[in-house]
Amino acid sequence: RACPAGGPGAMAQPRVLLTKDPAPQAIPASDLPMEVCEVAVNTGPDSSSGLATAGFRTAKYLLPEWHQSNADLYHKAFAGCEQAERGRAEAKELAEHAAATAQRAQQDSTATLGQRLQDIHFWKTELQKEIEDLDAETGLLAAQKLRLERALDATEVPYAIATDNLQCRERRQLPDLVSDEVERELLKEAELIRNIQELLKRTLMQAGNQMRLNRDHKEICETDWSDKVETYNIDDKCGRYSNQSTNIQFHPSSVKFEESASTPETWAKFSHDNIYRAEREKLASINLRALIDNILHDVSEDLRMQCAAVNEAFAKRCEELDDTKHKLEHHLKKICKEIGDQEANIAALKQAIKDKEAPMKVAQTRLYDRSFRPNVELCRDEAQFRLISEAEELTESIESLKKKLLESEQFLRNLEDTRMNLEKEIAVKTNSIFIDRQKCMAHRTRYPVVLKLAGYH
């Protein structure tokens, strides 16, 4: 029937507000014929008036609620649009500000790198100039040092002549063994040459030390210059980077200050101190060169004046030189014989070591094969102990022979060095005998000239 029945059962339905449209009826109401139902009006205490439509009424929104719901959606949509628009504006403003800030920061960094390049170039130029000056000064000092060496070498001949003449005159027989003017001048010449040699040696040592200091400070400046060249290239490359560069990438770990990094003040002071010390050494080198020049001038003049005072030299010291030469030759003969014996001893020791190889192989092979004995047969028997003892004895013998071989080879090297020294001394004595016998007065005519004594030749 089209008319719903009302009764006590209808009141038991829950009053729940539906959140969606109710399901359509199986049979639409319009398809059934409408029938008017007369319902008795009950207005008494047990009346059920209005309960028949309670289920339909409670399952729907009220009209004000529907309007409020739509209004809430409108408001939410409007607020969302307004908030999104405000967020877009803020995002755009933030992006523009970030882009401008990044551009200014990059420009400032580029300008700072450019200023840094100028500072590096300044100190690099100063260091390069100092390096060139030090190198040139060291070359000049090396030339003066070479003059000193030549002058020192040039004093050997006058000293040998004066010494030889004095020794020869000591062998004069009476009554000619007198202390005359020649002997006094020869003694003065020998003493003068010795003092000059000591002076030249001290000056040579001083020049060598100064050259070492020059090179050390030049190396320090070169290291500093090299670091600045490398740094200049790095900063120059960094200054050429742009946002369009293809060789840039993220390095998050590089955004930090190194603990060992210097400050601009200490950085500049480091190069300044290097240049200052280099300048100080360069000035010391210049003063030393002037001192060397004065020393060589005075030395050459003193030697030539003393040479003019010595007019002649006399007999030679042949007996002493011959005796020394014969002794050296005698010792050389003994050394050569001992070298032959030592070489034979070394060969015998090498053969003895080689002879121990076969017994060692036998002992070690026996031990190796016995290590494959099965199970309980792998016994520490007397044979095993004796084989191990044999191997240890052979090893000890070989080590003793090798030690003795090394000792013998060292003896041989010492003998060879002694032989070389003896041969050198014999050659020196032979040359001295030749000078004493044949040169003397003729040799004094070959006294070094002033230029050679001054170190120019």
Q: What is the mean pLDDT of residues 360-383?
A: 83
Task: Answer whether residue 59 shows pLDDT above 50.
Answer: yes
The whole-number pLDDT of residue 386 equals: 86
Contact present, 313 and 164 (Cβ < 8 Å): yes
Task: Answer whether residue 409 shows pLDDT above 50.
Answer: yes
Using a pLDDT cut of 70, give the percent of the chain over it: 76
Q: In the predicted model, what is the mean pLDDT of the chain?
A: 79
The whole-number pLDDT of residue 25 equals: 45
| pLDDT tens digits, one per residue of 333-364 | 999 999 999 899 889 988 988 888 888 888 88
Q: What is the mean pLDDT of residues 392-410?
A: 88
Which structure tokens are listed for 457?
């030749």
Handedness of CA 259, 264, 269, 272 (dihedral sign): positive
| pLDDT tens digits, one per residue of 144-198 | 999 889 888 888 888 887 787 777 656 554 533 456 666 778 888 889 999 999 9
Which structure tokens are listed for 43?
């207005």
The distance of Cα 202 from the centroid of its chain, to the nearest Å, equals 36
Q: What is the mean pLDDT of residues 116-131?
A: 92
pTM: 0.52
Q: Answer left, alpha or beta for residue 406, where phi above 0 means left and psi between -120 and 50 means alpha.
A: alpha
Task: Answer whether residue 277 shows pLDDT above 90.
Answer: yes
| Spatial separation of the C-alpha atoms in residues 398 and 174, rounded to whole Å | 69
Query: 447 versus 262: which is more confidently predicted?
Result: 262
| pLDDT tens digits, one per residue of 215-239 | 999 999 999 999 999 999 998 888 8
> Which residues have CB under 8 Å from 227's CB, separation 6+?
none
- In single-letter form, the type of residue at position 52 comes to A
| Spatial separation of the C-alpha atoms in residues 290 and 53, rounded to whole Å | 132
Q: Which of 27-31, 53-57, 379-383 has the lowest mean pLDDT?
A: 27-31
pLDDT band at 128 (very low <50, low <70, confident <90, very high): very high
User: Residues of 412-438 as b/e, b for ≥16 C-beta within 10 angstroms?
Assistant: beebeeebeebeebbeebeebbebbee
Whole-Å CA distances, 433 to 78, 158, 326, 427, 440:
125, 16, 12, 10, 11
Query: 325 versus 382: which is more confidently predicted?
Result: 382
Residue 179 main-chain phi, psi, to 5 deg: -90, 90
Q: What is the mean pLDDT of residues 47-71?
A: 68
Q: What is the mean pLDDT of residues 431-440?
A: 59
User: Rounded to the nearest 5 degrees, what angle is found at the Cα of 161, between the Cα atoms of 159 and 165?
Assistant: 115
The whole-number pLDDT of residue 295 equals: 92
| pLDDT tens digits, one per residue of 3-37 | 443 444 433 343 433 444 444 444 444 444 444 44
